[in-house]
Structure 1
Amino acid sequence: MNFSDLFKQNGHLCRFSPNGSFLANVAQYRLVVRDIKTLQIVQLYTCLDAIQQIEWSSDSRFILCGMYKRGMVQVWSLEQPEWTCKIDEGSAGLKAVRWSPDGRHILTTADFHLRITVWSLVNKSVSYIKYPKDCKQGIHFTKDGKYMALAERRDCRDYVSVFVCNTWQLVKHFATETQDLSGLEWSPDGSVLCVWDSLLEYNLLLYSVDGRCMATFKAYEYALGIKSVCWSPSSQFLAIGSFDEKVRILNHITWKTVVEHSHPHVMENPAVVVYKEVEQRAQVHQQLIPGYHGNLPVFAAQSKYDVLEACPIEVPVLKPDPDKANPKIGISLLAFSSDNKYLATKNDNMPNALWIWDVQKLCQTVLMLQVGNVKCAKWSPVQTQLALCTGNNKLYLWSPAGSVSVEVPTEASFQVHKIQWHPEGGVLLLSGKEQMCLCFLEDNR
């Protein structure tokens, strides 16, 4: 395992290209593109204002920079650095920007969600889509890039419009049985569209491409409802995380609950492997302090995992504040492994715990208890390996073979807050508040 030097970045704006050849990151007004093998700068672009968002096109030939404060988007070409494109929304303002699946159209959302504009890089045509709804996830594309689903709000009702992406023609428009639609997402195979209501009402609906409602799921009433939704890679399961601290998994045939996973405050199942992080203070070097006779020892916290065998085991719990909005309770993280064998979850009022479930056996297999709060957890796209961070200078890895804690060997005070996997696996991008570095799990450079 090798680590690169630290590089400057802003706002966690660092992305691998889809083909895995490049790494882009933002440093205020500048967009830096590096070769992933040598980490040498291959392109350096200067934008007109501070960058708030970057996104690669699907073929890795273009990259866009969103500057929301100025209501502007700049597009850059890696193959033709002299080619430039600028999109100015003007007085309409800019709320969000993203690529279409073909990598030749850009979708911009105006302030207050007044409209969505589709800009073509091929023929410079412009199309407008009215009535987009301001919600957490109001737009989603099928994995094959054929269809786009858009949440809309008209006449005090929720609607979904389905567009075909090659012509941007409307192919289906239907009303949904939701009070306040909060999000929608296609299944990986593109055959089912999942729609769910706001957290004030537990309501999940499943639609076919032609707008037919296939099933409705309501676990309970008169309490905070759905917090997170995640499809399995095979489209066979749909995991629903709720504010009642439970995960419910639906099957794709009957859309009924296959299993209901709870997150107890006390672990009493002896079959679950519990990894507990233990920190130890170790002297790393001595530092000369002016005005002090002699050197003062400098200590660093080194950690390792202990496997707990005695049950029951208490899981640290935080009591949510009932007077504050968006209480820290419920399942905020749902992530299936790429091979569809495991599911990782996090319950917000147990921020130090990460739960790993066996999808085939429908039971819990691992509980990881960290010293700090789990900030981010990501599965490898090619193998059964989970990486997580807790906002310190360490990287944590889990696989069916076991867990390991690795300290990032940097001289500066570097804390890992976000993790990204390389599209081909084997490389991790570790992002802090103002810096980033790469972790090469295998020396394949």
Structure 2
Amino acid sequence: MEASERIDGLHTTASPCGRLIAYILPGSPRVRISHTHSPQHCTEFNSRILIKDILNLKWSADSSRLAILSSRLVDVLDLDDVNRRIRLDNGSGGLGSFRSADFIGTDTLLTVWEFGNARIWNLHTGKCVDLPDAKTFTTMPAWQVRPNAAKGLPPMLAMLSRQSGEDTLAMQFVGTQAASNFATKVPGDNRTISWSPDGRWLALNGAPYTSPCLHIYTADGHHFKSFDGHDRSVDHAPNRKQEDKLGLIGVKEVVWSPNSQILALSRYDGRLSLLNTRTFGSLADIEHFTAINQSNLAVEDQAPIYEESVAASGERSYIRVAHPFMPPRSEIKDRQGVNDQGVAEMKFSCDGSYLATRDARMQSTVWIWSVATLSARAVLIQHTNVRKLHWHRTDSEVLMIDCGEGIASIYHVSASESPQPQHLSLPGNVSLSWIPLSADVKPAILASTRSTFRVLYPEGRDDNFEIHGARQEPVDAGASFEEGASEDSLMEMLSGRKPLPPLPNDSYTRRIDMEVEEEDEYDTSARLDDTFRGKRKENFGSIEIDPLDDSQIF
């Protein structure tokens, strides 16, 4: 295993293509973008947002743009043209502070305010579409873009809104100027929304005590089926224990398999239900037993159980234990809420052949299930509670276990070996994630804390990483630069094929003054301007403006 040097950086995030890593330079409002296989080499961009105000960084799906989000300002970098900057200013904050800003297309940005207003911005034309009353107090974003859109059609955005105490499901084609292409009322208080990977189905999951708790809709927004998690006869049994009702109060989480053939439902009593996605009938129920016993099977047919042990020297190893076995029980919190009970996590492998799960009663135990046989494939017992499970992005056999200790435990499902712990040598509360590289590139793991990160290469660095845009020498910022000779590309700069452009003659303060002078000549309606190279276009006509809305895009 190889690893990069430790690099200081805040809000570290990898691009969707996996080739770039963006982070904020500590002590300075600058954004740095490094190559995954050469993170010590980077390109810097100045940010208009103070470090203390930055909330996070968001990439566009094609990795060509990066949004820097704060509660009052969104700054968008165009990596294909480093001279182009786009800014969205929240003004006096009459609509509240920004809650999120996400790309829902290459040239489309969705902003959501804390009080429920949402707006889709076209970064080329400056036009926007208002989406009022968006739900913001949900565990997950109350919107999602439909995957695998039909050829020639714009992406479709599905969003939950709530007005007058009722939920509404709105369908909006991204790029159209209509407020909503389709809207329908949805019963209950819905918390999550998720498209199937093939884009054919949409699932809405409600609050724990909502009835019905789960709704299935078609791609065009028509209701197909609902599920009720309640049993009326049990609700009227006053002597029944609360923990015995946990499986009857709804669905905790909904997860689609990557091949869109199975919908997995986790419940509050530790059970999982697998449904087929043709009729949404039941395929199987999976339960996490407190005792694992396959003694009646031949040894070669038993699911292997590996338990981690830590020596006094700190060395970690795994031993295979025999059936029957009782996984250690986790300590119960004094004030344990409903969301802390039942299935803690479930993740499908990249091709949907395996399902990894955790139970809140046994948080150091990981179950791996075979979807084909609907049986346990392996059980892994960690020394401490597991924080997160990560399947490899392209290899369905590889699972990474993150216990928050700065150690990546990597397990190959089909191999007859125990998990392999990889030490990161990174102090602090470390978060792990696979960098989404393509299958023809060696895998890489991003290990980050609040202020530092490093990249791990479990199979070594890619020998051919130069062809993917990595550079060998630092960019000479003083080299000659001919404006307009070719298109500015971040990848060309990282590869050393193009020097960084010099700073413009006018200072930043002077440029802002010039922008303010230009703004005085035009209406203050919310619209978009290209700060550095675009020209203001003619007014789009009379637009009715919310008196509390003085947000601007420049």
TM-score (norm 1): 0.89
* 2:39 counterpart SS class: coil
2:122 paired residue number: 120
* 2:176 counterpart SS class: coil
TM-fit CA distance, 1:418: 3.0
Alpha-carbon distance in structure 2 between the residues aligned to 1:45 and 1:73: 15
Amino acid at match of 2:349: S
CA RMSD of aligned residues (A): 2.0
Match of 1:97 among 91, 101, 117: 101
Return the structure number with greater helix share.
Answer: 2
1:408 paired residue number: 423
Are 2:17 and 2:436, in contact at CA under 8 Å, matched by a contact in 1? no
1:423 paired residue number: 437
2:228 paired residue number: 218
TM-fit CA distance, 1:80: 2.4
1:391 paired residue number: 404
Alpha-carbon distance in structure 2 between the residues aligned to 1:140 and 1:126: 18
Alpha-carbon distance in structure 2 between the residues aligned to 1:264 and 1:75: 49
1:323 paired residue number: 335
2:348 paired residue number: 336
Identical-residue share of aligned pairs (%)? 21
Are 1:321 and 1:327, in contact at CA under 8 Å, matched by a contact in 2? no
Q: 1:18 to 1:419 in 2, by over 3 A?
A: closer
Q: 1:278 to 1:257 in 2, by over 3 A?
A: same
Q: 1:81 to 1:42 in 2, by over 3 A?
A: farther
1:245 paired residue number: 270
TM-fit CA distance, 1:319: 4.9
Match of 1:272 among 303, 306, 312: 303
Alpha-carbon distance in structure 2 between the residues aligned to 1:397 and 1:168: 48
User: Residue deviations 1:170-196, cap 9 Å, x none?
Assistant: 22211113x211111111111111011
* 1:54 counterpart SS class: strand
Alpha-carbon distance in structure 1 between the residues aligned to 2:267 and 2:177: 35
Amino acid at match of 1:5: E
1:372 paired residue number: 384
Are 1:352 and 1:372, in contact at CA under 8 Å, matched by a contact in 2? yes
* 1:439 counterpart SS class: strand
Amino acid at match of 2:454: C
Return the structure number with greater strand share.
Answer: 1
1:296 paired residue number: none
1:441 paired residue number: 458
* Structure of greater relative contact order (alpha carbons < 8 Å, 6+ residues apart): 2
Q: Which runs of 5+ in 1 are unaligned?
A: 283-300
1:292 paired residue number: none
Alpha-carbon distance in structure 2 between the residues aligned to 1:110 and 1:219: 32
User: Residue deviations 1:313-334, cap 9 Å, x none?
Assistant: 1112235346344552211312
User: Residue deviations 1:109-154, cap 9 Å, x none?
Assistant: 11222x1011211111122111111222310111135211100112
Amino acid at match of 1:158: D
Alpha-carbon distance in structure 2 between the residues aligned to 1:95 and 1:212: 29
Are 1:227 and 1:332, in contact at CA under 8 Å, matched by a contact in 2? no
TM-fit CA distance, 1:335: 1.0
TM-fit CA distance, 1:414: 5.1
TM-score (norm 2): 0.72
* 2:311 counterpart SS class: strand
Alpha-carbon distance in structure 2 between the residues aligned to 1:200 and 1:349: 21
1:106 aligns with 2:104: no
1:15 paired residue number: 13
Amino acid at match of 1:262: E
Q: 1:107 to 1:244 in 2, by over 3 A?
A: same
TM-fit CA distance, 1:44: 1.5
Are 1:259 and 1:362, in contact at CA under 8 Å, matched by a contact in 2? yes
1:79 paired residue number: 80
Alpha-carbon distance in structure 2 between the residues aligned to 1:208 and 1:322: 42
Q: Which runs of 5+ in 2 are unaligned?
A: 150-154, 236-245, 296-301, 466-554
Are 2:7 and 2:40, in contact at CA under 8 Å, matched by a contact in 1? no
